[in-house]
Structure 1
Amino acid sequence: MALVCNSLQKYAAFVVIVLACVCFPCAAHYRSAHRRHEARLRSGVEDQWFIQRLDHFNGADTRLWKQRYFVNDTFYRAGGPVFLMIGGEGPANPAWMQYGTWLLYAQKLGALCLLLEHRFYGKSHPTDRQALADLAHFRTVTAAKRGLTNSKWVAFGGSYPGSLAAWFRLKYPHLVHASVATSAPVHATVNFPEYLEVVWRSLAAENPECPQIVKKASDTLVDRLKDPKTYDNITKDFRLCSTLQIQSKMDSAYLLESLAGNFMDVVQYNEDNRAFEGAVGTNITIKVLCSVMLDSSLGEPYDRYAAVARLMQKTFSQSCINTQYESYIQDMSNTSWSGPEAGGGRQWVYQTCTEFGFYQSTDSPNQPFDGFPLPYHLQQCADIYNLSSSLDGAIQQTNEEYGGYDIRTTRIVFPNGSIDPWHALGVAKDITSDLPAVFIKGTAHCANMYPARAEDLPQLGLARDRIFILLQKWLAE
């Protein structure tokens, strides 16, 4: 993305849409991961509100709602482009309006910078899901007001917003000229055990013994959970917020998923250079995790597993971790906009229960964890939202609507990293010459979206170059 924005100055009459890169697994992992990565740089940017249609598909429905957005016009020059960053499955981060490489591009290109929050996340509070239509209407109205109707719009997105970028081009080709869909899980699936398979391979790429030791540790913990006499020690070892109690399979599954999330989270975002976003703890990498898991001086594999949990707690200033399933369900069932999960957790898990699935289960033997199979994930849909345990119809509808792996349109590039578990649901091979994939060996989630740095792998720089060349070609068409 850096090369794209720096090198397209001759295309003054185009608009760049940048969608934030956030994609978290469900349930416990969403809860812990989102809180780790939502660290925001406080800014003086004020909330602004776009009067949005509630229902874009019913002309008789005149109801409106207010969608939050932010503006930075510091660098804008008449005739310059517009950068529109669109939020994903969490509150829009106003820090993007003051920090980030995209502002350097804005300064060079004389761009107006906008950030649009995703419907029903953060402070944008309707209940019907029409995110793509919101995007289209915002683009149409903003273009008309600012004289940008004839400009070429390019959508950028990472993770779930990457899927939105691709689908925006698919559904509204007259409004968006091209898209860069980074780390985009475009194929919906109920069961996604491949996620943890990629975690195994990514750990093994650092050291072949690493995932094997993780598996031994996880298996040991599963065995100890069968004996209530071990619960006090487990509470101390992993610094749980309350004494461990296992009253159902859901209790043990929630604990096991929470602890596995330490590895899932680090693998997904390994060395992704998010520090410019205001995130903390990005120095914890696969290398760090494996060094702990391979350190026999720390004790048996189980002890090293607990050491990883304590390291994560220390890094993210957590005095303890809450692994009570009942507490989680209570928080997620709170429908108030001031509730503990109203920032995104409740909404995102609802989307997985009704649109995407994406459940990172332990149903494959080729991964290091155990104890949170598909039924555990599906039960949450029932416990939180009173939804059916079967999502097959909803998932089929999503793939019918957008095409899944077989999306058919033009001018979308799909960058993915080999370490990123989400690449298993993305486009890793060219669909057509006009729907190319850029598969980047050795990189993680959304790596090509972040600013270039000296430590970047050569193939990451080449990927940025290729994306630029494609955009340069497409914008000339």
Structure 2
Amino acid sequence: MAGPGAGGPGGRGGAPLEGSLLQPLDHFDRLERRSLRQRYWISREFWQQPGGPVFLLLGGESGLAPGVLSRGHVVELGRAHGALLAALEHRFYGGSRGPGGDPDLRFLSSQQALADLATFRLHVTSAWGLSPNHTWVCFGGSYAGALAAWARLKFPHLISAAVASSAPIRAQVDFAGYNHVVSAALADPTVGGSPECLRAVAAAFAALDGRLRGRRLAGVARDFSSCRPPREPGDRELLAENVADVFAGAVQYNGYRPADSVAALCRAMTDGHRGSPYRRLVAVNKELRRPKAGGSRRLWLFQTCTEFGFYPSCRDAACPFSRFQTLRAQLSLCADVFGIAPARVRAAVAFTNAFYGAAHPGTHRVLFVNGALDPWHVLSAAGGRGGLLIAGASHCADMAPPRPGDPPALRAARQGTQACVPRTPVSAPTPVPSPRPL
């Protein structure tokens, strides 16, 4: 593929240039000769040659599209800093497939993804004639935010700084704290919750549990549009988890969609005209249920089983959801789908924390940005040294394009991010020729 020219694809005012890079399937075994094609996009719309930094947006547990370099806070930062913008899709997600198009899950890991990043950095440095010590800043949200922080940790000679948004850098098998944050949000009047809402949610899930234990399964299947009555324990556990996901999503992504927010959810759950709390639960599930991407969901499940855990159990009084949402049920998926026993999941999580440093990685020039409403902030570095904790903000809210209704704390956090991002390389780069073919 030919390199971009001014005004053409990837040029000034043009769409981002799409390319693909041949990556080793296994970076850590030089006898493995297979490879995969990894997609990326580059935009030089704002690039102030030759010294403008490179801002690299990392993909996570879903595919990327060119639009990630057309809008959002990273794009606005690129405009302000005169940056060359790049986005790298995570291996096996989206269009970055392995040999034959089917992913070999043995090679799906955060470590392989970081090695992909290092190879991509060296490729762009060569293709665009950059200095080896050119300033590179990594950005990412959620799992990709953790990758951004770990890139700075593992490759400080390649990555100058990182901004890690909503980044769970501490792996945890039993993530009961997730539901604790959701519970607090449902009762918080500042975001549209109320104690009445929390009580209604708890009563609704208690009624659901009563029906599941009382074997009123045909009615539950009708109410929640199940393919069949949930007669097996695993089916009941999965149904309860899926219904709880509606509430978890409304908190985690509060306000991303007008109807999908804590305020909208609590209005529905406290509306007595909708019948009993259980009937309100049935109605809310039908209104807000989102389909899940099957392929990406399986890939991410594999990564949780082999690296991270992140299973939100509901085992104490602080959780308002179903008591069928247990750690045992979620760990059983690892065994049933991939043959990975619970002890191996626990060992994998322990290794991840040892390898990256858990909540205290030994690195600097990493800015952790979290929303206080986001349940994932409890596994990140939220506030204090090296971190911003934004009151009332949700998951990756700082990465979204600015909106007129953004709270002052979110606007201030974006300004703080802009002030922290380095502008210039460590030393002057060599003059930049026209980019060679990619």
Normalised by the length of structure 1, the TM-score is 0.77
In the TM superposition, what whole-angstrom CA distance separates every residue of 1:244-272 from its partner, at most 9, and x where no partner exists? 41222111111111111100111001124
Q: Secondary structure at the match of 2:266?
A: helix
User: 1-side partners of 2:53 and 2:278: how far apart?
Assistant: 54
Code of the residue aligned with 2:246 in structure 1: it is: N
Identify if the C-alpha distance between structure 1 residues 361 and 167 changes in structure 2 by more than 3 Å, giving closer, same or farther.
same
From 312, 327, 331, the equivalent of 1:374 is 327
Q: Which residue of 2 aligns with 1:22?
A: none
User: 1-side partners of 2:16 and 2:84: how far apart?
Assistant: 14
How far does residue 473 in structure 1 lie from its aligned partner after superposition?
Answer: 8.9
Q: Secondary structure at the match of 2:421?
A: helix
| Structure 1 residues without counterparts, runs of 5 or longer | 1-43, 273-280, 322-339
More off after superposition, 437-446 vs 457-466: 457-466
* Residue 266, structure 1, aligned to residue 258, structure 2: no
Q: Secondary structure at the match of 2:187?
A: helix
* Residue 412, structure 1, aligned to residue 366, structure 2: yes
Percent identical across equivalent pairs? 38
* Residue 365, structure 1, aligned to residue 335, structure 2: no
Q: Which residue of 1 aligns with 2:179?
A: 196
Identify if the C-alpha distance between structure 1 residues 65 and 227 changes in structure 2 by more than 3 Å, giving closer, same or farther.
same
How far does residue 86 in structure 1 lie from its aligned partner after superposition?
Answer: 1.9
How far does residue 360 in structure 1 lie from its aligned partner after superposition?
Answer: 0.7
Q: Which residue of 2 aligns with 1:227?
A: 214
Code of the residue aligned with 2:314 in structure 1: it is: T
Identify if the C-alpha distance between structure 1 residues 210 and 424 changes in structure 2 by more than 3 Å, giving closer, same or farther.
same
| Structure 2 residues without counterparts, runs of 5 or longer | 1-14, 99-103, 428-438
From 120, 127, 151, the equivalent of 1:145 is 127
From 358, 379, 382, the equivalent of 1:428 is 382
Q: Which residue of 2 aligns with 1:396?
A: 350
Moved beyond 6 Å, runs of 4+ = 473-477
In the TM superposition, what whole-angstrom CA distance separates every residue of 1:60-106 from its partner, at most 9, and x where no partner exists? 44443211223444555542443432210011223324444544555
From 75, 82, 94, the equivalent of 2:54 is 82
How far does residue 118 in structure 1 lie from its aligned partner after superposition?
Answer: 0.3
- Work out whether residues 178 and 474 of structure 1, in 8 Å CA contact, stay in contact via their aligned partners in 2: no
In the TM superposition, what whole-angstrom CA distance separates every residue of 1:390-427 from its partner, at most 9, and x where no partner exists? 22211110000000012111111111111100011111
More off after superposition, 95-104 vs 402-411: 95-104
From 28, 42, 52, the equivalent of 1:57 is 28
User: 1-side partners of 2:374 and 2:145: how far apart?
Assistant: 14
Q: Which residue of 2 aligns with 1:123?
A: 95
- Work out whether residues 411 and 474 of structure 1, in 8 Å CA contact, stay in contact via their aligned partners in 2: no
The CA RMSD measured in Å over matched residues stands at 2.5
How far does residue 110 in structure 1 lie from its aligned partner after superposition?
Answer: 5.3
Q: Which residue of 1 aligns with 2:168?
A: 185
Code of the residue aligned with 2:152 in structure 1: it is: R
For 1:64-103, what aligned pairs fall within 5 Å after superposition?
Answer: 64-74=35-45, 76=47, 78-79=49-50, 80-100=52-72, 102-103=74-75
Q: Which residue of 2 aligns with 1:383?
A: 336
Normalised by the length of structure 2, the TM-score is 0.84
